[in-house]
Structure 1
Amino acid sequence: MIDNISLQILKILQEKARIPNVEVSRRVGLAPSAVLERIRKMEKQGIIDGYEVRLNPERFDRAQVAFVHVSTEAGYSEQVGAKLSDIQEIQEVHFVSGSDCFLIKVRSEDTASLGQLLQQRIMNIAGVTTTKTETVLSTFKETSRIPLPQSD
């Protein structure tokens, strides 16, 4: 179980992963060495899975976002999931219930490059039968933060 101080540390790190350890310790009221020890322990336990830099997709010509439903033939889900995961423009691959097998999130330059990706790479994966694409017109929220319980 994660105690309140560790929860506070996690909330701070989700807001700004590059925050100096001294600032985290000041906010939670612990010595910097104790905070560092807690962070390392949570990393070792797999509670903290890693640290990433969020880049502005528009600065890299990747402003077009689409969600694609990918249907497969029976028995191909493992292979298709692995092949989809290898495509650089695909940010997320989810095996889902319902009529489709996968829901993927794609970032591309524009609709033309999205169309090429769908036709030349995704539809050419063995076992893929159909795709249904929903393009994003605007984004109001996009985050990888996980809601954490309130600390006392």
Structure 2
Amino acid sequence: MNNRKIDDLDLKILNILQEDGRVSNAEIARKVGKAPSAVLERVRKLRRHGIIKGYECIVDHKRLGSGLTAFTSIRVEEGVGATEVGQRLSEFPEVLEVHYTAGRDSYLVKVRVQDTEALQATLAKFGTIMAVRDTNSTIVLTTVKESRVIPLPSTNE
């Protein structure tokens, strides 16, 4: 974090928080064998230095009417390294992820919508962005794994 490396205690805390972002400070302290005040200070430092970016609630998108997931590759005409189109794409509420990529296509976008008609409407919205030249979508049939957990180096226990 800035001038010091993340140590084993930080890694243990991060692993616990990735497993359950709602875990109490007292429970983290119990699991790592430290005082709650020491753990709280560690978590605050991890947040302050941007290692912990936030906490989120994971919902069942199918139960909320967004049962179709698609990945869309988008080819655009914009300068090398420019990401203005990516910024515009990220403004659509059905767009969950926007990745600027190397290769033939400029962006890989993850979209969650109700059905194929809604996907078609979303692609039409993408087409209103002047620099967009081509889209190619892959519809997900079944998600085998979806996670935001980052594999961290193992800690010496």
**If the length of structure 2 is used for normalisation, what is the TM-score?**
0.93
1:49 aligned residue (40, 50, 53)? 53
Separation of aligned partners in 2, 1:25 and 1:6: 12
Counterpart residue number, 1:91: 96
Which aligned segments of 4 or more residues in structure 1 are displaced greater than 2 angstroms?
Answer: 74-79
| TM-score (normalizing by structure 1) | 0.96
Task: Kindly indicate whether residue 111 of structure 2 is the aligned counterpart of residue 106 of structure 1.
Answer: yes
Shift of 1:113: 0.5
Comparing both structures, which one devotes a greater share of its residues to helix? 1
Aligned-pair identity in percent equals: 44
Aligned counterpart in structure 2 of residue 81 of structure 1, from 62, 86, 95: 86
> Which residue is 1:125 aligned to?
129
Give, in whole Å, the separation in 2 of the partners of 1:9 and 1:31: 13
Whole-angstrom distance in 1 between the partners of 2:74 and 2:92: 14
How far apart in 2 are the matches of 1:25 and 1:79?
44
Aligned amino acid, residue 150 of structure 1? S
User: Is structure 2 residue 66 aligned with structure 1 residue 62?
Assistant: yes
Indicate whether 1:13 and 2:17 are aligned: yes
Q: 1:148, 1:126 → 2: CA distance? A: 41
Aligned residues: 151
User: Which sections of structure 1, spanning at least 5 residues, go unmatched?
Assistant: none
Counterpart in the other structure of 1:139 = 143
Match of 2:40 among 36, 41, 44: 36
Instruction: Kindly report the root-mean-square deviation, in angstroms, between the aligned alpha carbons of the 2 structures.
Output: 1.1
